[in-house]
Amino acid sequence: MHVPDGFIDAPVSAAAGVVAATAVAVSLRGARRELDERTAPLAGLVAAFIFAVQMLNFPVAAGTSGHLLGGALAAILVGPYTGVLCVSVVLLMQGILFADGGLTALGVNITVMACVTTVVAYAVFRVLVKVLPRGRRSVTVASFTAALLSVPAAALAFTLIYWIGGTTDVAIGKVATAMVGVHVLIGLGEAAITALTVGAVIAVRPDLVHGARGLRQRLKLRVNGELVDVPAPQGARTAPVAARTSRRALWLSGLATSLVLAGVVSFYASASPDGLEKVASDKGIDKNVEEHAAADSPLADYGVKDVDDARLSGGLAGVIGVGVTVVAGSGIFWAVRRRRTGDVSPSGTAVGSSA
């Protein structure tokens, strides 16, 4: 659903840019409360994983494909504020390096693909985990439903923006019907990928899944008519060392998976246009599309310039993209975490407070 340059006029694109910049600023502040030494490395990995999976277009209908948007996955794994930043980092890398998504439309893409998907998905997810039975299966079910609904919500958000600032005269009702219809199908793929990924992380490290925190209840015993917490096992003191090792293994396996998906599996992705491209072509809203400012980039269109072998070219581009995204994302999230640490005194009191 990457919006190219020329779909939306300059004033609305600028307004969307202001909305996106505000959302990123708010998310940077909010992420300081979500990130710690456990989740900061995971957030950079989530961004890289989203980049890799977005290269895997899957067929959804005759002549149409879809790909992961990632807002739901990021919000559930690392939190809604950090989730917005994860997807925004991916969109920035794609726009600058790979000529995917217009640079003047970057604000539109962040608003639609990062903000709307994350907010809608996380809101739906939180409601569902409150009403469903407490447990891992409920988290997976809630993840599936939240991701499914987030994609048509993003389609509606694009339709609204196009209605306000579209550069072609097309009946908005037809655009809305086509966009929502195809993106409901894409949402099923998004939901499956999100649920499988969240379920896989929960299976090995449930404590690292932001959306699953607080769901575990400590066992209690009744002593003299009162309920008391069961004492921690004697080996609990060694848990931090084991946890650090497990986090490292999780990070390395996640990075390896991302590299394989982007460097190898992406070659077999569907070549059909994605949902927005198909609707734009069918409804004529791409008449004023402009050439991307980074069309001459060495990595434009997810291929390495001057590498003639298509498999090798795409694979190298995917690996480079994963590497750049994980480095950029990790750097941002570590900086945010350090800012959070700097705002707290050694006693745990916020610096500058009167307490």
Query: For residue 301, with 0-12 CB atoms within 10 Å meaning exposed, 13-18 middle and 19 or more buried, which class applies?
Result: middle
Q: What angle do CA 197, 145, 4 make, to 5 degrees?
A: 75
What was the pLDDT predicted at 226?
60
The whole-angstrom separation of Cα 247 and Cα 197 is 16
What was the pLDDT predicted at 235?
46
Q: Is residue 348 part of a domain?
A: no
CB 168 within 8 Å of CB 287: yes
DSSP state letter for 208: G
Structural domain span for residue 123: 10-342
| Distance from chain centroid for Cα 302 | 19
Q: Is residue 1 part of a domain?
A: no
What was the pLDDT predicted at 346?
47
Q: Is residue 2 part of a domain?
A: no
Q: What is the secondary structure of 277-342 as a DSSP string?
A: HHHHHHHTTTTT----TTTT-TTGGGS-TT---HHHHHHHHHHHHHHHHHHHHHHHHHHHHHHHHH
Q: E strand or H helix at 275, and its extent?
A: helix 275-283
The whole-angstrom separation of Cα 46 and Cα 237 is 29
Maximum distance among all Cα pairs of the chain, rounded to whole angstroms: 78
Q: Is residue 351 part of a domain?
A: no
Domain of 161: which CATH number? 1.10.1760.20
Q: Is residue 353 part of a domain?
A: no
Per residue of the chain (355 residues), give pLDDT as tens: 999 999 999 999 999 999 999 999 999 999 999 998 878 889 999 999 999 999 999 999 889 999 999 999 999 999 999 999 999 999 999 999 999 999 999 999 999 999 999 999 999 999 999 999 988 899 999 999 999 999 999 999 999 999 999 999 999 999 999 999 999 999 999 999 999 999 999 988 888 899 988 665 444 455 565 655 545 444 444 444 444 447 888 899 999 999 999 999 999 999 999 999 999 999 999 999 999 999 999 999 999 999 999 999 999 999 999 999 999 999 999 999 887 655 544 444 444 443 3
What was the pLDDT predicted at 41?
87
Q: Is residue 310 part of a domain?
A: yes
CB 13 within 8 Å of CB 165: yes
Q: What is the 3-state secondary structure (H, E, C) of 38-84?
A: CHHHHHHHHHHHHHHHHCCCEEEECCEEECCCCHHHHHHHHCHHHHH
pTM score, whole prediction: 0.88
The whole-angstrom separation of Cα 116 and Cα 128 is 18
Q: Is residue 349 part of a domain?
A: no
What was the pLDDT predicted at 71?
97
Q: Is residue 347 part of a domain?
A: no
Torsions phi, psi of 221, nearest 5?
A: -120, 150
Token duo for residue 284: 């004529």
Number of domain units in the chain: 1
Tell me the one-letter amino acid at 55.
M
